[in-house]
Structure formats: C-alpha cells, structure tokens
Structure 1
Amino acid sequence: MRNHTLLNEFILWGIPQTEGLEAVLCAVFSFIYLFTLLGNLLILIAIVSSSTLHTPMYFFLGLLSTFDILFPSVTCPKMLLYLSGQSPVISFKGCASQLFFYHLLGSAEGCLYSVMSYDRFVAIRHPLRYMLIMKPRVCVGLVVVAGLVGCLHATILTSFTFQLSYCGPNQRVGSINVGFLALTLLISVCVCYTRIGIAILRIRSSEGRQKAFSTCSAHLVAILCAYGPVQILNNVVSPMLNSLIYSLRNKEVKRSLKRVFRNVLLTVCE
C-alpha cells in the first residue's frame, strides 16, 4: 500500500528572487507578448496576401509564425494575471492542460525547425528540382509528422508527470524524454546545415555562395536563438525574436509587409 495525496490545485510561486517587481515584470512581459502576437500576425498576413510567397519555404515560415502565436499563449495569459495581482492558484486540470499544450507546441516547433533545415538543404543542393522534391503533398506530410511527434511527446510527458510517483529514477523520466527529443532534433539540424555548408563551398562564384547563404541565414539565426541562451525564456522571448529575424532579414517578407501597410493606408485615406 502506498500513500497518495489528491491535489485539486497548485499555487504559482512566480520567478525566484523577484519579490516586489511584479508590476515591472507584468509590464515587460505584456509588451513582449503583444509584440510577439503582432509581429507574427503581420508575417502571416504578408505570406497569405502575397502570391510570390506561396512556396514551401514560406509555407513553413507561416506555420512557424502560427506556432509562435500559440506557444506563448499557453502560459503567458496566466502568468500576466498572476503578476497583475490576481490569484496565484491554478487548477489541477488547468496545469495538466498547460503542460500538455506547452510540450505539444514546443516539440512540434522543434520538429518544424528540422523540417525547415531540410527544406533549405534541398533548395541549395537541388535548386532545379526543389519544387519537384518539396511538392505540396510532401510539405503537408512533413508537417503532419511534426504534429504527431509533438502530440506523442506531450502525451507521454503529461501522463508521466501526473501519474508516476516522484521517487528514485522516476524523477529522471521527464528530463530524459525532453533531452532525447531536443538532442535528436538538434543533431538533425546540424546534419542538414553541415551538408548545406558543404554544398555552399562547392559553389564556384562568390556571388552564388552569398546568395545561397542568404536563403538560410534568417533560419540559422532563429535556430541559434532557439537552442542558445535564449532557450531559458523560450516560451516568451524566442517567438518574439523569430518575428524580428524574419521581418528584418528577409527581403521578400519586408516587401510584402510594405505592400500590406501601403494598402491599409490607402484604404484608411479613402
């Protein structure tokens, strides 16, 4: 026989060593969250409204922006309510739901980074066959696989978290599960970019090498942010940085955004 304690709710303790700074943190995180929503929404509008951006690369970018809208929305609203002085209590079901969707969207986005790395490899290594290889059916299939991996990962972690007793080796189940998936995805990204680097070095003209590198530079920066030090605040900061990276470093997105703003201004002036 084992003793069991039934829980109906949890109390959120907040960020350690930030007592008295709740109002400041609420203002900062509110700005970041709103900027994230607006930035990624603008990228989605730019991709949908421009026919020149209806390609596999921007299809994946649009999905990344969608994930970057949904991912912080899992935890940020509750965090902002707590920082604004509302009740720090979260229900058992609410906590389980947050954990499930956090891991679902986080791991699916990690898979999407790997898919986008493969997409950039195909674009640079096989430019003439790019549209044939990355046809719509293949793109949708890759996204479905990413979603299934995220769902499986989230289901396993959530069930382990709320069913296993936290004694002995059970404490390490979640860490091993998360670490294994993250390491696998990171290795896949490294393999793709190693092959991309080799393909770029084989290009004879410096102009061709520069053009090839520019096609994946924004995604490479986003990868460094996702797996780098920013990972500490990955559910808040990384989604905001992605919108900045792709809007500032991608000429096609900037051109489409300018067109969108111009059309909006013309509509308002009329």
Structure 2
Amino acid sequence: MEPRNNTEIAEFLLLGLSGEPELQPLLFGLFLSMYLITVCGNLLIILATISDSHLHTPMYFFLSNLSFADICFTSTTVPKMLVNIQTQSKVITYAGCITQMFFYIVFLVLDDFLLTVMAYDRYVAICHPLHYTVIMHPWLCVLLVLVSWVVSVLYSLLQSLMVLRLSFCTQTQVSHFFCEFNQVVHLACSDTFINDISMYLGSILLAGGPVTGILYSYCKIVSSVRRISSAQGKYKAFSTCASHLSVVFFFYSTSLGVYLSAGATHSSHSSATASVMYTVVTPMLNPFIYSLRNKDIKRALRRLAERQSVVE
C-alpha cells in the first residue's frame, strides 16, 4: 500500500512528558509558572535596556536580543502544551506541527548564534579594552544580529521544506510535548536519509562552528586575564564571563545531546527531559544568571519601577 502524505490525514498526537492523569495538574502548574517567569523576566530585561541610556551598549544590546529570542523560543512550545493539558487533548494539526517546528528551529539556532556573538563581545571587551568602542561599532552589532536572524530563518526554512516532502502513515504519535524535529522526521514511512544528512550537517556547522568560536574566545580571555596583576581585576573579568559560560554549558550539553543521538536508540523520556532543560529552564534562568546580579540592570529596573509608580 502506498504511503499517504500527512497533509491529507492531517494531525499528530503529542504524548507529552507523562501519561499519568494525576500528574497533569502538577505539570500544568509547573510549566505555566516557568513560562510566566520566563516571559516576565526577559521582558523586564528588554524594557530596562531600552529605557536606560546607560545600558545602550553592545553587551546589553545582545542581551536584549537574547531575551527576546528566549521569549519567542519558549512561546513556540509551552503554550500548546498547556492548552493540550487543559483541554485533555493531545492533537496538533499537521500545519500546526510544521509551523511549530519552523519557529522552534529558528529560535534554537538564533540562541546558538547570539550566545556566540556575546562570547565575541566579552573577548573584545577583555582582550582589547582600548579598542572596544571602535571594534564593537553599533553598525557591526546590528549586522551580527541581522546575520544571525537571516541564517536562522533560512536554515529553518530549508529543514521545514524537507519535512514537507516526507510521507507519513498511521504512526503519528510524537513522544514529546512539542513537535520535536528529529522525532517527527523519524515517524515518516518514506526515506529520511537526506533529512538525516542535513540534520547532522546542520548540527556540525551551526553548533560545532559556534562552539569552536566560543571556546576560542574564552581561551583568549583566560590568557588575557592571567596577565592581569590585580586579583580584583581578575575576579571582575571572570565574573562577567561566569554567567555566560553557565548558560552555554546548559544550552549545548542538553540540545546537542538530543540531536547528536538522533541516529542511535535512546529513551524518548530522556530526550523530552533534556529538551525541557534548553527549551524552558535555560530561557527562564537567563534573566537571573545574566542580569539580575548585575548592578547596572538592577539600577535600571529600580528606575523603571520608580517611573511606573510616578505615572500611577
């Protein structure tokens, strides 16, 4: 029997993190809380950056873009999960699945590039402090973000179009809380060899390249910091990098673990749990570990709160 394209039968089933009915209210409350914290925390960072002229610097420009990307990244997956739990439905339409996959890949890759750009910014600030304002010119900052957006959208569009060529039979259950790219591809009953190759090449180029850039930047940073004579100066330099490194570790260790194991037999539950880390937990923690310990951000948030109280 010829496999039929899923555009005709038109839906997938998202099995979620657990099928236990008694756990659904707990999952709903937990993910709703994390989503609200993510949106509010990252939105505050964006508002503080825009409203305070002291934060109109490359570092905070990239941080505000990362915050926006994190809001969008989480919004591609969690709201649908919450709706499914609330309505006790696991259905997502074929068009909805492809759309979710497209935006998920866009913001995943965008996060990847923005973390790399932020590492480059820290490299220039610590290794070439006297030339920082010249090198990190506003036009260069805008160009770096624009290129990150363009590459992310083009790559996601390519992968999404390649999924459209696949045919799906009766097995449409996705062992995940969203249309995870690798799992959807391997539900197809047509040949996925080209999709697998493009996925591996994408992982190598769009993850391996940025990771190499981040490692190179931090090797140079460590070398430069070791030459600082003042212990206070060393601490200050390292403290500006610690938050970025912690987010990079969580983001890459979980996301690459999911995609590089694409061809191997692995637990769907483990894959879904790892995906929670980089799709939900890391975006939620970013405002805290990047900014809320930062005196400039705290000052900007206080000023924002004072302006709001005056208006009221």
Same fold, TM exceeding 0.5?
A: yes
Pairing 1:173–2:197 present: yes
- Structure 1 length as normaliser, TM-score? 0.91
1:218 touches 1:250 (CA, 8 Å); kept in 2? no
CA offsets per residue over residues 76-133 of structure 1, 9 Å max, x none?
1111001112432211111111101100111011001000100100000111110110
1:114 touches 1:188 (CA, 8 Å); kept in 2? yes
CA offsets per residue over residues 152-185 of structure 1, 9 Å max, x none?
2211221222214643634623541442222222
2:291 touches 2:297 (CA, 8 Å); kept in 1? yes
CA offsets per residue over residues 36-83 of structure 1, 9 Å max, x none?
010011111111111110001100001011111111111111110011
User: 1:217 Cα shift?
Assistant: 2.5
> Runs of 5+ in structure 1 lacking a partner?
none
| Partner residue of 1:89 out of 88, 91, 94 | 91
Q: 1:228 to 1:3 in 2, by over 3 A?
A: closer
User: 1:266 Cα shift?
Assistant: 3.7
2:77 touches 2:100 (CA, 8 Å); kept in 1? yes
Residue of structure 2 equivalent to 1:237 = 281
| Partner residue of 1:199 out of 201, 219, 224 | 224
2:163 touches 2:195 (CA, 8 Å); kept in 1? no
Residue of structure 2 equivalent to 1:101 = 103
Q: 1:168 to 1:265 in 2, by over 3 A?
A: closer
More displaced stretch, 92-101 vs 175-184? 175-184
User: What residue identity is the alignment partner of 1:232?
Assistant: S
User: 1:2 Cα shift?
Assistant: 5.6
User: What residue identity is the alignment partner of 1:210?
Assistant: Y
User: 1:192 Cα shift?
Assistant: 1.0
Q: CA RMSD in A?
A: 2.1
| Partner residue of 1:220 out of 225, 231, 245 | 245
Identity of matched residues, %? 40
Separation in structure 1 between the aligned mates of residue 16 and residue 27 of structure 2, nearest angstrom: 11
Separation in structure 1 between the aligned mates of residue 195 and residue 139 of structure 2, nearest angstrom: 41
- Structure 2 length as normaliser, TM-score? 0.80
User: What residue identity is the alignment partner of 1:226?
Assistant: F
2:117 touches 2:144 (CA, 8 Å); kept in 1? yes
- How many residue pairs were aligned? 268
Residue of structure 1 equivalent to 2:65 = 63
User: 1:224 Cα shift?
Assistant: 2.1
User: What residue identity is the alignment partner of 2:284?
Assistant: M
User: What residue identity is the alignment partner of 1:239?
Assistant: P
Separation in structure 1 between the aligned mates of residue 151 and residue 46 of structure 2, nearest angstrom: 24
Separation in structure 2 between the aligned mates of residue 172 and residue 84 of structure 1, nearest angstrom: 35
> Runs of 5+ in structure 2 lacking a partner?
168-189, 256-273
SS in 2 for 1:4: coil
Residue of structure 2 equivalent to 1:253 = 297
